[in-house]
Structure 1
């Protein structure tokens, strides 16, 4: 009798623990017909070199990792994800302990404008996402900044893909 009640309570817990969980696609309803996405090279409005391929590759990697869409060529795609890297902003996060005018850690903010369009160039979704990274200022500040770009690009890519795959 005790074993039976324990099994019944365990079964009840297991069945109610998954309440609200949804199997299958969770894509926004307006993107239900989109299965294949093309991602051309993003445009770069900043002065930072090699940033466009870095952000574009981060987007492709994140779409592949998410699994909601398949990456395909322009001719086979149901939609195209276009994007523009608008700005890169730098701010001091922490100053040097002995010299308050010298930064020891910086904050980088990468702003990307994106839009998902169908084959008739109708905008299905669009938005602006921000990728953030922190880096330590060393003797070669350019190298420190360059090393922080992949993290900021990945951060922005995660937000963009979350928007098109989950709707938020």
Structure 2
């Protein structure tokens, strides 16, 4: 019985020691985003000729922000800040060619260039701004367009992860 109380008291002491060291459990936002609790994500602009890119990137951003949970997603009227974005370019680069024909691609890199601004709704101040490059590799099958269409959501998902990390953790 004495061992049980000794273990319990050691556990309580350890918990107290850890909490008094300055460690914090939960979301720790960057200093400039301390007052932001909700973010609105309108449809991003698309400067490319690739169809449905704006919808794919916006959906990936909303999904990743919801999954992270640091900020709630709100309508523009009720949000603390608005995340405006623009897909500047989508580039394709050959990584691997066919053995018998170097002009025929076997593996491609699909790269997205994305600019964003996080604007505080009340004051109009820009809280965060930057440019991201996200990429994914895709093996090209007989149908080039299908392979590229399947790679775009993966590149958008990686872009959303990187941007969410920047906004929630500051790097």
TM tier relative to shorter chain: 0.7 to 0.9
> Is 1:29 equivalent to 2:27 in the alignment?
no
Separation in 1, partners of 2:104, 2:23: 50
Q: Tell me how far 1:132 sits from its aligned partner.
A: 1.0
Separation in 1, partners of 2:71, 2:62: 10
Q: Tell me how far 1:22 sits from its aligned partner.
A: 2.9
TM-score, reference length from structure 1: 0.87
After superposition, the C-alpha distances for 1:81-122 in whole angstroms (9 at most, x for unaligned) are 000000001101111122222211100101110110011321
> Is 1:107 equivalent to 2:117 in the alignment?
no
> Is 1:121 equivalent to 2:124 in the alignment?
yes
Q: Pick from 66, 69, 80: which aligns with 2:68? A: 66
Separation in 2, partners of 1:17, 1:96: 57
TM-score, reference length from structure 2: 0.85
Q: Pick from 143, 146, 149: which aligns with 1:143? A: 146
Alignment coverage as a number of residue pairs: 161
Separation in 1, partners of 2:18, 2:136: 36
Report if the CA contact (8 A) 1:41-1:53 is conserved: yes
Q: Tell me how far 1:25 sits from its aligned partner.
A: 2.5
Q: Which runs of 5+ in 2 are unaligned?
A: none
Separation in 2, partners of 1:96, 1:159: 32
